[in-house]
Structures are given as C-alpha cells and as structure tokens.
Amino acid sequence: MCGRYALHSSPEVVALQFGLRAAPAWPARYNIAPTQIAPIVRAVATGGREMALARWGLIPSWARDMAMGARMNNARAETVAEKPAFRAAFRRRRCLVPVDGWYEWKAEDGRKQPYFLHLREGGLAALAGLWEEWISPDGSPLESYAVVTTEANAEAAAVHDRMPVVISREQQALWLEGPVKEAGTLLRPLGTGELAFHKVDRRMSGARVDDEQCIAPVSGEEPPPAVKSPLTKFGSGGQGRLL
C-alpha cells in the first residue's frame, strides 16, 4: 500500500521531469497524508499535460458523500479494472503522482516502525494514479485521486507486501493516454535492485508532522534484509485547482 509520501523536489525539477511548460510554486512536503491536497499530473484534451491540486482519497462520482474517499487512497492493480470505485477512472482518468519517496510501516518489537522508500538512484518517482470528479450536494466540484498499488518487489517486501506502481519516464505517455489494455501492462512491481529504503523516526507517524527530519535515516540503524523474490528485473516501471 501507500499510506504517506513526500514531495520536496523543486517545482522546476518536477516540471522538467513531467513535461510541463510551467513551473508552479508549492511548498516542500515531507509527510503527505490521505485527505490532504497534493499535486497530480494528467493529460489534457488539447494536448500536453497539466498539473492540478486534488484531494488524496478517490471519491467516486456516484458517492453520496466525500467520506468514502478516506478509505480510497489506494487502488489495487489486480482489481482496478473491475472495482466500481475505480474502473471508470482507470478507463478515462489516469494520472501520475510525483513523489520523492513514500513510507511504509513494519511491526518491530511490538511497535510499528516507519521506513522511507525511494528510488535507489534518487530523484523523483512517478506513481500510477487515478483521478475523479465528484459533485457535492451543493453543486461544488471536488477532484480527488488514488495511488495504484501492486505486489512488492524484493526490496519493498522486507517492509510491506505491497508497493505503489512506479511509471518510468518512457512509459508516462502510455499510462496517461494509452489504450486501457496497454496501460494495464504497466501495473507491475518495480524491478529488483531499483529501490532503496531506510528506517525513519516514529514521530513522522503523526500526520501533522511535516519537516525534513521525516525522511532522515535513524542514526545507527540497519534496514531489514531484502526478501528473496522470483521477480525478474524490468524497466522502472477542495476542488481540484490547476497549477
């Protein structure tokens, strides 16, 4: 799964990596949590891409109220094409979620220990996402999104049995605009050896904590050993407001 993530890269770096013409400003975030507002990238009908701010936790267009989105921050790759909450967005409203890394928790010594996972070579990762527009009873539109997850690769499995789907730069156009069948082929784990992680301070488990120390390694701690995996390596795989 993906329960929290960080996006602290500069707007200029994000714009360059995601093919955006503008470099909009937003604050560095180190602990983005479900129900909070964060940037997503999506294709536009006139060509090109745009960035929008949306609420993390997808609210289906048919939902009676926005509370449903609180438990829809992740969409499982294995069922995304059939599950009523996600299937329409999977067909027509795919997006990318820019992150510098994400967090997972592992039970250790009777407590939940957070770890920060990121690309081994550093830099931004593009997570596969889905977005939706929901109209409130008073007629106000609200855009929201979910992160698509799959089985963990060898590194991530040392912490959790699920991980977000990571879309490589070469595959971004296919995910955003390609046919459903072809886009579905991208819903697979990141290649073995492409991910790194480290233990972080438990203080970041509080959703209100959001500073650079959230991603800092705990001094003197070693990560758990990677779990052996048979997976073969492959390529790295409020109202929404436009930025």
Residues involved in catalysis: 2, 104
Q: How far apart are CA 223 and CA 221, in angstroms?
A: 7
Q: Judge whether 141 and 239 are in contact, CB under 8 Å.
A: yes
Nearest one of 157, 125, 149 to 223, comparing CA atoms: 157
Nearest one of 100, 73, 40 to 242, comparing CA atoms: 40
Cβ neighbours of residue 235 closer than 8 Å, sequence gap 6 or more: 168, 170, 171, 191
Supply 76's token pair: 């499982």
H/E element, 89: helix 87-92
The position carrying tokens 């790295």 is 236
Sequence length of the chain is 243
> Which ranges in 117-232 belong to alpha helices (H)?
172-177, 180-184
